[in-house]
Amino acid sequence: MEEYAWVIEYLPLGRADALRKEPMVQLLGTRFFTLLEASVKPTASIMLGQKLCVGKEGRDEVIHIKGRIGYEELTQGAKEFLPTMLKKAIETDRERDFVAFINTAKPISIRVHTLDLLPGIGKKNMEAILREREQKPFESLIEVHKRIPTMADPAGVFVHRILSELEGKEKHYLFTKPPFQLQPRFGSGR
């Protein structure tokens, strides 16, 4: 459950196809990168990138969470702003988590390492990461780039992976929860 989320779209008049016209936002959860839609108070001052409380207690701007949405339900504006918001989140609010991921990623099987699942890493970069972190754990994404110069944009690698997960294109979900239509349902007989 997300307690906070970043605004990736603000629709002061709601969706064009909505029966009830009310201000709403599309959000990116800060913990699991969950995509949400919520109605907000008409008097709320909303800006892209703003962090809002979406938990059960302490909401100032949000009236109620309409629900979790899929990537395809985002507006075009939200889809365009999402990579920027993800990059900012990875480099500032969540950098420690992603550095820890690099420092602790383990093999999935004999042939596949978790680092193999990151786009653009490649075998040479993966081997360099494993070698470097054995000598000394990484402390920042900037340090990852300095010690692995062929990895030009470590945050960008994570942005691409998270976007791919949000779009439902991945078999393994490292940073997000699978889209709700892919989650196992109770009583499915499995």
**In the structure, what pLDDT confidence band is assigned to residue 189 with cuts at 50, 70 and 90?**
very low
State residue 182's pLDDT score: 44
State residue 15's pLDDT score: 81
- Do 69 and 28 have their domain in common? yes
Determine the structural domain holding residue 156 and report its residue range. Answer: 94-179
Query: Given a cut of 70, is residue 171 above it in pLDDT?
Result: yes
pTM: 0.90
Which residues lie closer than 8 Å to 69 by C-beta, 6 or more apart? 26, 35, 36, 37
Query: Given a cut of 90, is residue 190 above it in pLDDT?
Result: no
For residue 81, being part of any structural domain is answered with no
| CATH classification of the domain holding 58 | 2.40.50.140
Q: How far apart are CA 175 and CA 132, in angstroms?
A: 23
Length of the chain: 190
Query: Given a cut of 50, is residue 156 above it in pLDDT?
Result: yes
- Do 108 and 68 have their domain in common? no
| CATH classification of the domain holding 137 | 1.10.150.280
**In the structure, what pLDDT confidence band is assigned to residue 184 with cuts at 50, 70 and 90?**
very low
> 24-29 and 4-11: which strand pairing?
antiparallel
pLDDT in tens, 6-65: 999 999 988 877 777 899 999 999 999 999 999 999 999 999 999 999 998 889 999 999
- How many domains is the chain partitioned into structurally? 2
pLDDT in tens, 134-153: 999 999 999 999 999 999 89
pLDDT in tens, 74-99: 999 999 999 999 999 999 999 999 99
- Do 99 and 174 have their domain in common? yes
- Do 174 and 112 have their domain in common? yes
pLDDT in tens, 95-131: 999 999 999 999 999 999 999 999 989 999 999 999 9
Query: Given a cut of 70, is residue 186 above it in pLDDT?
Result: no
Question: Which secondary-structure segment (H or E) carries 40?
Answer: strand 35-40
Q: Which of 20, 40, 73 is the last residue in one of the domains? A: 73
Which residues lie closer than 8 Å to 61 by C-beta, 6 or more apart? 40, 41, 44, 45, 46, 52, 53
Q: Which of 44, 73, 102 is the last residue in one of the domains? A: 73
Farthest-apart Cα atoms in the chain, separation? 60
- Do 163 and 125 have their domain in common? yes
CA distances from 152 to 69, 143, 146, 157, 165 (A): 32, 11, 9, 9, 22
What phi, psi does 6 have (nearest 5°)? Answer: -95, 140
